[in-house]
Amino acid sequence: MKVKFWGVRGSIASPGPATAYYGGNTTCIEVRTDNNELIIIDAGTGIFPLSQTLLAEMPLTANVLISHTHWDHIQGLPFFAPNFIPGNSLRLHGAFDPVAGKGVEQVMSVQLQYSYFPVREEEMKARIEYVTLKPETSIQIGSATITPYLMNHPVINFGYRIDADGKSIFFTGDHEPPQNIYEPTDKAYAEYQVVVDMKNKEILAAMNGVDVLIADCSYTEDEYPAKRGWGHGTFNSSIEYACNAGAKVLFCTHHEPTRSDAALDAVFNKVLAEHPAHAGGPEYRLAREGETYEF
């Protein structure tokens, strides 16, 4: 299986010389099975450069898994070049949004309103299909089994486990480990803690034994108190997931958009000093735009 990162920034694209090494595009990950079946996770701005490489593979069927509908994870879809060419197919997978009362089809319909984009969906030449997924209900894409899991973010957010040919990946999307919303002195604290513990146990079970864990590591422990409730993890929380799940490799992603390459290196080196790798434990890596990892 092969993983290639096309976008690793969170919240907003941040191109420029200060982010040139790790990259400024927002979330997009290309996954290839051993049979070369194409799965794309999220459609941030990184899906545009990915789409340029796919023009050599037409006719193309692209299965895109959307973690959630915040702009930094969907805003590249209107610029996905194969959509404009007859003979191609785009299958967009994602969650039902109980607030909007709509499935994943809204990802395209909202962005392709004529006020915001000059090409309407009806004018696109490729075949576009929508697959609304249910939590913990697996689907098959070629040789790959895809299982979505509800994570913790201010909108419905799916983490995805991909299993194929005895290999596995888990992507968290944007995720903040569930916590108790009550003070320990509150009468509701103990009851709610049961719910929190159960959810954390379910998430850890979903990640169990994966070869590659790709996780939201937006913040440091020092930054986190001011960001609590925003729906993002820390380097420490993702390292804890990787260790407890028995993951082989952790890729830290969703890099803070204001963090330069130099600042990201400094933060990560500090984290590594506090959490040194150990025999039999995970390898820790920063996700970098353009990097390919094959296993």
So what's the pLDDT on residue 100? 85
Cα–Cα nearest to 168, from 145, 189, 186:
145
Neighbours of 86 (CB within 10 A): 10
Quote the pLDDT of residue 267: 98
The answer to whether the CB of 192 falls within 8 A of the CB of 181 is yes
Torsion-angle region of 122 (φ positive above 0: left; ψ -120 to 50: alpha; else: beta): alpha
Query: What pLDDT score was predicted for residue 174?
Result: 98
Which long-range contacts does 51-54 make (Cβ < 8 Å, 24+ apart)? 51/79, 51/80, 51/81, 51/82, 52/81, 54/81, 54/82
β-bridge pairing 292-294 and 2-7: antiparallel
**CA 135 to the chain's CA centroid:** 16
Q: What is the pLDDT of residue 278?
A: 87
Task: Phi first, then psi: give them for residue 173, nearest 5 degrees.
Answer: 60, -155
pLDDT for res 6: 98
3-state secondary structure the chain: CEEEEEECECCCCCCCHHHCCCCCCECEEEEECCCCCEEEECCCCCHHHHHHHHHHHCCCEEEEECCCCCHHHCCCHHHCHHHHCCCCEEEEEEECECCCCECCCHHHHHHCCCCCCCCCHHHCCCEEEEEEECCCCCEEECCEEEEEEECCCCCCCEEEEEEECCEEEEECCCCCCCCCCCCCCCCCHHHHHHHHHHHHHHHHHHHCCCCEEEEECCECCCCHHHHCCCCCCEHHHHHHHHHHHCCCEEEEECECCCCCHHHHHHHHHHHHHHCCCCCCCCEEEECCCCCEEEC
The domain segmentation of the chain, as residue ranges, is 2-294
What is the structure's pLDDT at 31? 98
Topology of the domain comprising 2-294: Metallo-beta-lactamase; Chain A (3.60.15)
Centroid of chain to Cα 23: 16
Rounded Cα gap, residues 55 and 51, in angstroms: 7
pTM of the model as a whole:
0.96
- Which residues of the chain have a pLDDT value below 70? none
